[in-house]
Chain A
Amino acid sequence: MTSFRLEKGGLIDRAASLSFSFDGKGFTGHPGDTLASALIANGVHLMGRSFKYHRPRGVISAGSSEPNALVELREGARQEANTRATMIELYEGLVAKSQNRWPSLAFDVGAINSLAASMFVAGFYYKTFMWPKSFWEKIYEPLIRRAAGLGSAAKEADPDKYEKAYAHGDLLVIGSGPAGLMAALTAARLGARVILADEGTRLGGSLLFENEEIDGKSGLDWANSAIAELASMPNVTLMPRTTVFGWYDGNIFGAVERVNDHVLAPSPYEPRQRYWRVIAKRAVLAVGAEERPIVFGGNDVPGVMLASAMRAYANRYAAAAGKAAVVFTNNDSGYRTARDMRTHGVRVEVIVDSRADSRVEAGGVPVIRGRKIVDVKGGKGVAGIELDDHMHIGCDTVAMSGGWSPIVNLACHRGARPKWDATIAGFVPPDTGESFVAAGSAAGRMLLSECLADGAAKGGGKPSDAPKCRDETYAIKALWWVKESKTKAFVDYQNDVSVKDLPLAAREGYSDIELVKRYTTTGMATDQGKLGNVNAIAILAEATGKTIEQVGTTTFRPYYTPVAFGAFAGPFVGRHFQPTRKTPLSDWAEEQGAVFVETGLWMRSSWFPRADEDWLASATREVLATRSGVGICDVSTLGKIDVQGKDAGAFLDKLYCNTFSTLPVGKARYGLMLREDGIVFDDGTTSRLADDHFLMTTTTANAARVMSHMEFCHQALWPDLDVQYVSVTEQWGQMAVAGPRSRATLQKIVDGVTLNDETVPYMAAKELTILGGIPARLFRISFSGEHAYELAVPADYANMAARALMQAGEEFGIVPYGVEALSIMRIEKGHVAGGELNGTTTAADLGLGKMMSTKKDYIGRMMAMREGLTDANRQCVVGIRPFHRSDRLRSGSHFLKRGDAPSIANDQGYITSVAFSPMLGQWVGLALLANGRARIGEMVKIFDGLRGIHQYGVICEPMHFDRENARLHA
């Protein structure tokens, strides 16, 4: 293989060499290379296949706009699809594969599509594949899917790590070319905190590859000294390899730093990438301009590339795109490529300048003016070109320059549209106010001196602060596409949108640029139209008889370049996706062998198996032991809110539908809260510890919402109430101690009180101490239906108190019980919980209608009176038992009247909660049933189509066990 590595020059380290493989073949390159430059230096131009026609494709650009040279990079769990070869820094051991081809890049069966290309025009698939109907999903679509897509992505978990970080500054400068460096320097010298970010491996932007002269030095030397100065200043942060991908409200920018994409695998102590949110007082868009291709026949043959890319490969990477080049341009900048290539000793056959009257210095290269290339000869490489006067010229590479488009993307991310500038034939950024301004060629300035002056001004200085420099001339006469071309000419390379597709779309009625985009897919590929969109707009303008301005652009949206999911996810993956909350009793529960279950963010002890018990056996034993002796359960996750102040009672009266201001000190009361729409919001027991001091409890699920609701009600509705409240959920460990021996057990650990019905009557709330001085609160409340208590101690004492209780209860056979047993006991007792408080039930639906006071205003009172909320046919809570005692019940089963056929119109309700009742020796449940309370005793059909189970059940009172509540008061 011939080497296309130039003898001299370039920012590569010739002393070191790196080996890598592409499609299984070994190559070498140098540090400083990209994968693309290393392949070019090795004479490889064929790097990919296009999306639709599978045409052979080579590299078009030398940067992030690359649409063609996309590869599968790395292997195994690190395999990434669609990585731009132009952005991959070469490293030792790099492995890359071409994509979207089978069986090989050189011979791709999919290229057969090219033959049918004349049929596969824009939108053809909307018109066919409809017959026969069943074929779409079975045959056509799977085929299309297999052919579509680009690279394949790994399905294993990514072994690399990601980080998130925030940066704040006075000025964010995006882009480190002449304008960006000048802006950063100027601002930094004035003392501003400056952040300079650039997507490139090293800072310098176009100065890394253009031959310029600034301040009497080469452009590169000037850039290096500017960067060195910036690096030495404490108020400056330099961020190479950092792509600013989006602009958001509040002048917040999203960015991704590629910390370790240039190595085989990151060190275990470093992330692969770091996601940044940059919050800047001001920002300067100095991202430069993108060179445009020209649309002409064969403009996609490997070896045809942007003129700026060709000179970047030569100047920066010392890689020659070929041995004999042709330049095709409609503006002055194409000449730079011709001159630079010649300097490097590459033969430049001719410059084809579409302008008849241009007078640019060609450095000795022959120029053909007023002519166009109509076709590029060759398949997998360039063999020559044909001009519109039929002249043939042999060459092996073609440089094209269709002019420059300022990179306006970021400035348009918040909705503003770019403006058309006819002198440069390009869209320039919209005016987005002082906080984000464009500078340099991003602002449409085409001369180096203008860019430097603009950078200085936007950095907060004067244009005259900029150093002197040499300017190249710049002029353009637009040429969008070569109408004389007969062969396929591409507008959007990756998606294979050709010049004919756009007028066709317009003729068919899809004439708005946004419709053209959607119908033809132009601009929808991974480069999001960076290269092709302006050409597409111009072509459409002519097809529809409009000006380019009238056609306008499509919407620019994040992401400037695609961002890895991992970067956005950061460290919040796997078990760290969400925080884990452990209760103060979790050590004790673990000692007791608890199986934990996720409950929101909490881990709650679910059951405490012995030997090889399953959950049901364990929970059943826990219930039996509790109901016959004593059990202890961690209820710390219930929300606890401490409410104090003169108006605490009045405040609670407004929050709850029942009354709390009348609650005696030392007593607890069950409370029910509604939402303002009259539906039940939450429930819980609230106690009065002093005249002006209450302790509220909420359900586990709603703890945070109730707190926020209270804050709203107080601050926004009744700010005059003298009340303070704070969440103390985490400050207290709380355990239910339940069962006939609960009092005897507790007695052993409380200090100086004899527990009896006088000292701690039913619904008492008492502050006391335990274990010789530990402060505690004892509530005689019961969810299980047993004689029971809840004991609360400061969180740090919780494990100790639980251990002491276990010891105290040993003689009574005390057991720990988990939420499964808790749930069984509450269902046996017919207490409502999450399944019934489902956000659509009223107090009356839950059988709690009597709690709604008629004597006061409270949240939800009025809306609860609407006819729909008091309709007799509403579903309300009932009990359900299987007709055959041995049948099992399942939550989520629905009810039908005995004789009715299944239909939603006949649906009577559904089972909300079930349990195997150890006390009754059968399954019991709670349910919501239309007009349920009038239907106690009715036999219903239980419909469980999902599980194919159909049985009968009998409606009963919700309370299945101990209907007299004898145990409660025992």
Chain B
Amino acid sequence: MKYSVFSLIRNTLSGHRNWAPAWRAPEPKTSYDVVIVGGGGHGLSTAYYLAKEHGLTNVAVLEKGWLGSGNIGRNTTIIRSNYMLPGNNPFYEWSMKLWEGLEQDFNFNAMVSQRGVLNLCHTDAQRDAFARRGNAMRIDGVDAELLDAQDVREMYPFFDFDSPRFPIKGGLLQRRGGTVRHDAVAWGYARGADSRGVDIIQNCEVTGIRIDNGKVTGVDTSRGFIGCSKLGLAAAGNSSEVAALAGMKLPIESHVLQAFVSEGLKPYIDGVVTFGAGHFYVSQSDKGGLVFGGDLDGYNSYARRGNLPMVEHVIEAGVAMIPGLARVRVLRSWGGIMDMSMDGSPIIDKTHIDGLYLNCGWCYGGFKATPASGWCFAHTIARDEAHGLNAAFRLNRFRRGYMIDEKGQGATPNLH
């Protein structure tokens, strides 16, 4: 059933009794051509593009919880393509282009909102780093603007320009950056994949990976064995646990990242802004809540919750940036488990095991990558080779020394 204002009116007239389910709840078949582990954004978009771009529809997505229960449903919804390294930039820009046509493509309003992403800078060195980044974007045709303090002040006069500890000197603005309603992305892809024949199986945890003669033959799950000739892992924060089922050890650590939402407010802040002198970034959702976050708690964790020191740390930075926030109230906080890689960049690759493919290492930036990640992973699985866009996201880059380290922090995941 196509969604549109007409279908809405039609269904209103029939008392909303005739809406078709957005996806089926199928029983798992005994085997599939491709099984994807993880019903998060990346797993679902992979299935969608496998079906749509590669005609592979005998596909199942296995999700241990409910659809979108992982990071896709708990991130701070920011999309941007302001990366500077050659391995990253074209990939994220492709993702941005996919976002720009996504809702019409999968016929679901995911509220893609290009409200602009502004990163503030507070020192000359930061500004120089932004100039480097901005020019790396511009050189490849990606939009970027370098703002001075006055420009920022005109956009956001209520930031602290009067008595800051670290004066705002300017910022890097990507106007095409913005936010997207995160759950709707999972739902839109799920519905799109389902309508093309993909089985989305919830409450189905993968507990074993069967490998025969160096080739994947299927997975053991909480709902029995499911055979497959190709297996794609897209388990985000649980990547190490799942890869271990195939005897693999990854360059990944799992860390908790907290996020927060304030009570609903009338329009307060228009775009997405990141503070440059502390860990704080914020945007306002369509419902009116200020959605914000900061840094990792810092310790390895699989618990989707954090502790008070980081809460204080983030909110101190928030009030330092916007003094008026002091009287706004924070409503809820939560946490998600980040698959932090050793260079801060992701992995989309084949593995040494025939038929086993890996998609992980998204750190706290994988939401924006959802469309391109699925698109590239689908390509990699269907063609058994990386697309040019994910050619740098190889697993062996660490062994070979071709890290993609935007932050320059090296093999210390909690610093990326």
Binds B, one of A1-9, A554-562, A658-666, A759-767: A554-562
Contact of B165 among A515, A575, A597 (CB under 8 A): A575
**In whole angstroms, what is the CA distance A500 to B268 when docked?**
32
CB interface residues, B 99-150, toward A, < 8 Å: 103-104, 107-115, 122-125, 127-136, 138-141, 144-146
Inter-chain contacts of B324 with A (CB < 8 A): 77, 153-158
Question: In the assembly, what is the distance between CA of A839 and CA of B128, in Å?
Answer: 15
In the complex, A249 Cα to B308 Cα: how many Å? 9
A81, B328: Cβ atoms closer than 8 Å: yes
Distance of A777 from chain B, by nearest CB (Å): 29
Please indicate the chain B residues that have their CB under 8 angstroms from the CB of A25 in the complex.
none
Most buried by A among B25, B127, B331, B405: B331
Q: Which residue of B lies closest to A574 (CB)?
A: B163
Confirm or deny: B184 has a beta carbon within 8 angstroms of a beta carbon on chain A: yes
Q: Could you tell me if A943 and B328 are in contact, using CB atoms closer than 8 angstroms?
A: no
A868 at the interface (CB under 8 A from B): yes
Complex contact A599–B21 (CB within 8 A): no
B residues in contact with A947, CB < 8 Å:
131, 146
Q: What's the least CB distance linking B99 to chain A, in Å?
A: 12
A357 to chain B, nearest CB (A): 36
The reply to whether A126 and B184 contact each other, CB–CB distance below 8 Å, is yes
Point out the residues of chain A lying under 8 angstroms from B327, CB to CB. 78-80, 153-154, 158, 564-566
Instruction: Compute how far the CA of A344 lies from the CA of B312 in the bound complex, rounded to whole angstroms.
Output: 48
Is the pair B320, A890 in contact by a Cβ cutoff of 8 Å? no
B104 touches A514 (CB 8 A): no
- Bound CA–CA A160/B7 (angstroms): 52
- Smallest CB separation, A255 vs chain B (Å): 11
Shortest beta-carbon distance from A585 to chain B in Å = 21
A128-B5, A148-B264, A573-B319 given as contacts; is B331 within 8 A of A907 (CB)? no
Contact in complex: B330, A839 (CB < 8 Å): no
Whether B55 sits at the interface, judged by CB under 8 Å, is no
Least CB distance, A450 to chain B, in whole angstroms: 32
A863, B144: Cα distance in complex, Å: 35
Interface membership of B383, Cβ < 8 A:
no
- Whole-angstrom distance between the alpha carbons of A151 and B266 in the complex? 6
**Which one of A126, A525, A563, A945 contacts B330 once the chains associate, using CB atoms below 8 Å?**
A563
Complex: A678 Cα to B286 Cα, angstroms? 46
Cβ proximity bits A71-110 to B, threshold 8 Å, 1 near / 0 not: 0000001111110000000000000000000000000000
**Residues A904 and B86 in contact in the complex (CB < 8 Å), given A130-B109, A137-B113:** yes
Q: Note all chain A residues with C-beta closer than 8 A to B89.
A: 904
Residue of B nearest to A117 (CB): B12
Q: Is A834 an interface residue (CB 8 A)?
A: yes
Q: How many angstroms between the C-alpha atoms of A148 and B111 in the bound complex?
A: 15
A568 engages B316 (CB within 8 Å): yes
Smallest distance from the beta carbon of B124 to chain A beta carbons, Å? 8
A677 to B410, Cβ gap below 8 A? yes
Query: Is B308 touching A277 in the complex (CB atoms < 8 A)?
Result: yes
Q: Is the CB of B139 within 8 A of A574?
A: no
| Nearest A-chain residue to B66, judged by Cβ | A512
CB contact list, B157-196 vs A, under 8 A: 158, 160, 163-167, 183-184, 187-188
* A interface majority secondary structure: loop
Chain B residues whose C-beta falls within 8 Å of the C-beta of A863 in the assembled complex: 401
The answer to whether A564 and B329 touch (CB under 8 A), given A127-B3, A507-B21, is yes
Query: A946 is contacted by which of B8, B145, B326 (Cβ under 8 Å)?
Result: B145
* Known pairs A574-B163, A946-B145; A146 contacts B267 (CB<8 A): yes
From A124, A518, A907, contact of B73 by CB (8 A): A518
A141 touches B266 (CB 8 A): no
Q: Is the CB of B8 within 8 A of A562?
A: no
Residue of A nearest to B190 (CB): A509
**Number of A-B contacts defined by CB within 8 Å:** 360
User: Judging by beta carbons under 8 Å apart, are B332 and A943 in contact?
Assistant: no
CB-CB under 8 A from B225, the residues of chain A are none
Please tell me if the beta carbons of B400 and A868 are within 8 angstroms of each other in the complex: yes
Chain B residue contacts of A892, Cβ below 8 A: 127-135
Closest Cβ–Cβ distance, residue A278 to chain B (whole Å):
11
Q: How far is the CB of B139 from chain A (nearest CB, A)?
A: 5
Q: In the assembled complex, how far is the CB of residue A276 from the closest CB belonging to chain B, in whole angstroms? A: 10
- Whether the Cβ atoms of A943 and B139 lie closer than 8 Å is yes
B123 pairs with A598, CB closer than 8 A: yes
Q: Is the CB of A528 within 8 A of B308?
A: no
B136 touches A904 (CB 8 A): yes
- A342 to nearest B CB, angstroms? 38
By beta carbon, the residue of chain A nearest B123 is A598
* A944 beta carbon closer than 8 Å to chain B: yes
Q: Which of A503-521 contact B (CB under 8 A)?
A: 504, 507-512, 514-515, 518-519, 521
Q: How far is the CA of A160 from the CA of B130 in the complex (A)?
A: 36
Q: Report which residue of A79, A573, A578, A675 has the largest number of chain B beta carbons within 10 angstroms of its beta carbon.
A: A573
What B residues does A557 contact at CB under 8 A?
A: 305, 332-334
Closest residue of chain B to A125, judged by CB? B109
A526 at interface, CB cutoff 8 A: yes
B-side contacts of A126, CB under 8 Å? 3, 108-110, 184, 187-188
Q: For the complex, what is the distance from the CA of A130 to the CA of B188, rounded to whole Å?
A: 13
Residue from B9, B115, B308 whose CB has the most chain A CB atoms within 10 Å: B308
Q: Would B25 and A148 count as touching, CB distance under 8 A?
A: no
**Does residue B315 face the partner (Cβ distance < 8 Å to A)?**
yes
A contacts with B, residue count (CB < 8 A): 126
| B329–A867 CB distance below 8 A | no
A277 to B407, CA, bound (A): 34
A894 touches B401 (CB 8 A): no
Our pick among A82, A146, A156, A508 for the contact of B264 (Cβ within 8 Å) is A82
- Fill in one digit per residue for A708-731: 1 if any B CB lies within 8 Å of its CB, else 0: 000000000000000000000000
Cα distance, A377 to B100, chains bound together (Å): 48
Q: Flag if B109 contacts A559 (CB, 8 Å).
A: no
Within 8 A of B (CB), among A124-178: 124-131, 133, 136-137, 141, 144-146, 148-158, 160, 162, 164
- Please report which residues of chain B, range 1-38, place their CB below 8 angstroms from some CB of chain A when the two chains form the complex: 3-5, 7-9, 12, 16, 19-25
Complex interface: chain A residues within 8 A of B103 (CB): 130, 133, 136
Q: In the complex, are the beta carbons of B109 and A572 less than 8 A apart?
A: no
Known contacts A894-B136, A902-B140; is A565 also within 8 Å of B326 by CB? yes
A contact residues around B312 at 8 Å (CB): 164, 275, 568-570
Asked if A816 is an interface residue, CB under 8 A from chain B, the answer is: no
Is B318 part of the binding interface, using a Cβ–Cβ cutoff of 8 Å? yes
CB distance from B87 to the nearest CB of A (A): 10
Contact of B331 among A119, A414, A528 (CB under 8 A): A528
A903 sits at the interface (CB 8 A): yes
Give chain B residues whose Cβ lies under 8 Å from the Cβ of A130: 3-4, 103-104, 107, 109
25 interchain pairs, CB-CB under 8 A:
A121-B16, A126-B187, A128-B5, A129-B109, A144-B286, A151-B265, A158-B324, A158-B327, A248-B307, A557-B332, A563-B329, A565-B327, A565-B328, A566-B327, A569-B316, A574-B165, A575-B163, A577-B164, A577-B277, A834-B125, A891-B132, A894-B135, A944-B135, A946-B138, A946-B146
Interface contacts beyond A902-B139, A907-B136: sample of 14 additional A-B pairs, CB < 8 Å, sorted by A: A127-B4, A136-B103, A511-B25, A524-B287, A569-B315, A570-B312, A573-B316, A598-B122, A868-B397, A868-B403, A869-B401, A892-B127, A943-B139, A946-B135
A residues apposed to B, CB below 8 Å: 51, 77-82, 118-119, 121, 124-131, 133, 136-137, 141, 144-146, 148-158, 160, 162, 164, 246, 248-249, 252, 254, 275, 277, 413-415, 500, 504, 507-512, 514-515, 518-519, 521, 524-526, 528, 555, 557-559, 562-566, 568-570, 572-578, 580, 597-599, 675-679, 834-835, 838-840, 863, 866-871, 890-894, 896, 902-907, 910, 912-913, 943-947
